[in-house]
Structures are given as structure tokens and as C-alpha cells.
Structure 1
């Protein structure tokens, strides 16, 4: 979809914002659950979860930094939603969705290794 097509339908930006926020919240819920399981981690702040995932080796440090920025963006969507521009959302969905796919791959890799180490 071109930028013009995206912006021409007023429904697109709110749909993208809603599903992007939900996706990011799922990322941090998954991260929180894994950290609780492997190290008793109980933090709920998204930026802290992002950092701990990298420190504990669940994901790479590089992805940890990306998630840290995503946590800030998620907070902007929730608390400063009027500041989110449709053009910004288009840029994210065309240039940064691979970050979520990378998170999925790294989590799957971690879970397979964790299962081997713990036997289940």
C-alpha cells in the first residue's frame, strides 16, 4: 500500500495504531512472562522488561535496545495519542514490522534452548 493510499482512508491510522499497540503489549507480556519463569523477575515497566531480556540473554542486546525504543513508543501511543501522526504510523508499518518478526524468532530460539536445558 502506498503512503497516499494509506492516508486516503481515515480508518487506516486508527486501525494501525490499535493493532500496533496491541502487538507491542503482547511483546512485553511475553517478555515479562519469560523473565518471571527464568529468573523470578516481577517488573512491569516495559522499558525495564526490554533491558532485562537483553541482560538475561533471552534476546540479543541489539534487539533489547530496539524494544526499549518500542516501549517508549507504546507509551506515547497510550498517553500522548493525539501526538501520533498518520505519516508516522505509515513509516512504522512499512519500515519496522520486521523488528516484531525478529522478536518472534529470537523468542522461539530462546524457548527451544531453554526447553533443552530444563527438560521441559
Structure 2
């Protein structure tokens, strides 16, 4: 496997693991713990950014053999992955994750702990599926 892809995929797994540990925390306890909230936001940001990095790396590898325009936005990365049949059905969810990443980075003062808690409990499955679909593609294509 490509070393850069492997590195980023290991990080996705690490951040997912940490977020899944946070998910074991009862809601009320989570909402009282500002340190846990901050750590969760950072792990979520890093997890999403690692997904973007994986997508960008795969796209750049494909561009060696194919002529197509590079993604202009992070959301475009996930659109292109769908177009190239690397992922299936994940573009809407991953685009929403990208939008949330942008909020974490650029509008961090307006992040609701309840929303982060909800993402941790209901949307990490999309990142899990992203990781599985990408791994399948990489294995199938000997990348």
C-alpha cells in the first residue's frame, strides 16, 4: 500500500477509536466536561482532515493516468471519489462532514457541544464506511 495512504488511514482509525471511546460517555457528563468537548472537536477535525487527505492522495494517484481537473474544494474531493467509483453513496455524508470541519476550524466559537455529541453518536459510521470502501479500492487496485 502507498505509504502516504497507509499513514493517513492509520490516523483515521486512531481518531475514530478515540471518538468511539468518547461516545461511551453519558450525554450529561459529556456536556459538563469542557476538556472532553474540546478534545472531541479536535479529534473530529483531525479525522475529517485525514479523510480529505486520503481522498486527495487517491485523486492525485489517478491523475497520473487520467486527465481530469483537480478538486477545488474539500467537498469536491468526495464528489470526485464517487465519480471515480472509489466510494459509493458517501458523497453527501462526507460533504456534510467537510462542512462541519470548516465550522470547527473557522467558526470554532459557535460549535454546539450537543451537535458534536450527536455527530459522534450518529455519523462516525460514515467515516467507518469511507475507510472500508477506500481500503477495498486500494486492495483491488494494488495501490
Work out whether the TM-score is over 0.5. yes
Contiguous gaps of at least 5 residues in structure 2: 1-24
Deviation at 1:44, TM superposition (A): 5.3
TM-score (norm 2): 0.75
Q: Is the 2:71–2:80 Cα contact (8 Å) retained in structure 1?
A: no
When you count helix as a share of all residues, which structure comes out higher? 1
Structure number with greater CO (CA < 8 Å, separation at least 6) is: 2
TM-score (norm. length: structure 1): 0.89
Pair 1:26-2:54 in alignment: no
* C-alpha separation in 2, matches of 1:95 and 1:105: 17
Mapped partners of 2:127, 2:82: distance in 1: 15
Aligned-pair distance for 1:2? 1.2
Mapping of residues 60-79 of structure 1, within 5 Å: 60=88, 62-79=89-106
Alignment RMSD, CA only?
A: 1.4
Structure 2 match to 1:51: 79
Gaps of 5+ in 1: none
